[in-house]
Amino acid sequence: MATEQLGPVLPRERGELSAAVIRYLGGESTLPGSRAVRKADPYGDDLQLALYASYELHYRGFAGVDAALEWDPALLGVRSLLEGRFLDALRADATRHECVDDALAELLVEPVDGTGVSHFLQDEGELWQVREYAAQRSLYHLKEADPHAWVLPRLWGRAKAGMAAVEFDEFGAGRAERVHAQLFADLMTDLGLETAYGHYLNAGSAQMLATVNLMSLFGLHRALRGSLVGHFAAVEITSSPGSRRLASAMNRTGAGPAAEFFYSEHVEADAVHEQVVRREVIAGLLKEEPHLEADVAFGIDATGHLEERLADCLLASWRTGASSLRTGS
């Protein structure tokens, strides 16, 4: 058995599904059945943690867990059930557009009176809320761009070249200290947070887990390559203005130079990336595979849907002075 040595520890369970998956990863033999999956909340803590834990085997794994479980048939079967429950809910709840241009048009217009998380943190957020935001987002940003790399073998021509160019920047353009995941770890250091990969998994909300699971779901399935491209476009298009506000929030709250730099770096970089994704990645993909247009639009819509759910969760807590974290981590 080749057990992982450096990954995070297995998380604490949040219900029947996650308990069974976590026990299975720890060496026990029972996995949940289809009935348990069907009755689970597709956006809830239990299902999202079970899905996150199964996906994590494709990233860095968990300390003490057999690396061979990444391709364990029984676990993959349960993961497929979890994915189906999640994807069915997203198709029912998030689908708004069939046309990519219509989906993109909504993202390209900044609302005059924005009310999202970046607006809140810029205008009135306190340092403790900035720290919580970073802890939540660390579940993605400490592996930033990794889920999107899976789409590269599934693209060709302009789409592949454009995607590879953006990913090259995300991975530091050949410089380890400029890898965006490292820049986020530097941000966390400024904020006095633990930088170990996966440290805040137990503290992360179901809504945050879902945003990361969406990337893994799209990235790991060739059939969803169009949706992954749509997701990536949504992230890059909304990143630059949001990052500008977050850089301002870091400056105003005294978060530190590395914290401010992470977001100021994304302002310019993602403004360029947005153009590449729209003009090369999406346009190149749809020229070769026009039948994927509805999938690209769905990826954009699903991303927005889950980001709105996350924003609602964070702001509902913060506006009452409560923590958004599940634990005191």
- Please report the pLDDT score of residue 273 as a whole number: 86
- Please report the pLDDT score of residue 4 as a whole number: 57
- Please report the pLDDT score of residue 328 as a whole number: 47
pLDDT at 6 over 80: no
Report d(CA 247, CA 245) in Å as an integer.
Answer: 5
Report d(CA 117, CA 241) in Å as an integer.
Answer: 12
State how far Cα 221 lies from the chain centre. Answer: 16
- Which amino acid, one-letter code, is at 281? V
- Please report the pLDDT score of residue 27 as a whole number: 93
Q: Average pLDDT in the 190-204 region? A: 97
- Please report the pLDDT score of residue 5 as a whole number: 66
Report d(CA 228, CA 267) in Å as an integer.
Answer: 22
Q: Average pLDDT in the 172-183 region? A: 95
- Please report the pLDDT score of residue 239 as a whole number: 86
Q: What is the pLDDT of residues 68-114, one digit of tens each?
A: 999 999 999 999 999 999 999 999 999 899 999 999 988 887 766 77
pLDDT at 329 over 50: no
Report d(CA 139, CA 204) in Å as an integer.
Answer: 8
- Please report the pLDDT score of residue 112 as a whole number: 64
- Please report the pLDDT score of residue 238 as a whole number: 86
pLDDT at 29 over 60: yes
Residues in the chain: 329
pLDDT at 286 over 90: yes
State how far Cα 120 lies from the chain centre. Answer: 21
Q: Average pLDDT in the 298-309 region? A: 97
Mean pLDDT (the chain, rounded): 94
Whether pTM > 0.85 for this model: the answer is yes
Where does the pLDDT of residue 265 fall: very low under 50, low under 70, confident under 90, or very high at 90 and above? confident
Write the DSSP assignment of 204-218 as a string of letters: S-HHHHHHHHHHHHH
The SS3 of residue 149 is: helix
DSSP H or E segment with residue 73:
helix 73-94
The lowest-confidence range among 2-6, 124-128, 191-195, 304-308 is 2-6
Report d(CA 71, CA 204) in Å as an integer.
Answer: 26
pLDDT at 25 over 70: yes
Q: What percent of the chain has pLDDT over 90?
A: 87
Q: What percent of the chain has pLDDT over 70?
A: 97
- Please report the pLDDT score of residue 110 as a whole number: 72
Q: Average pLDDT in the 138-153 region? A: 97
Q: Average pLDDT in the 229-246 region? A: 92
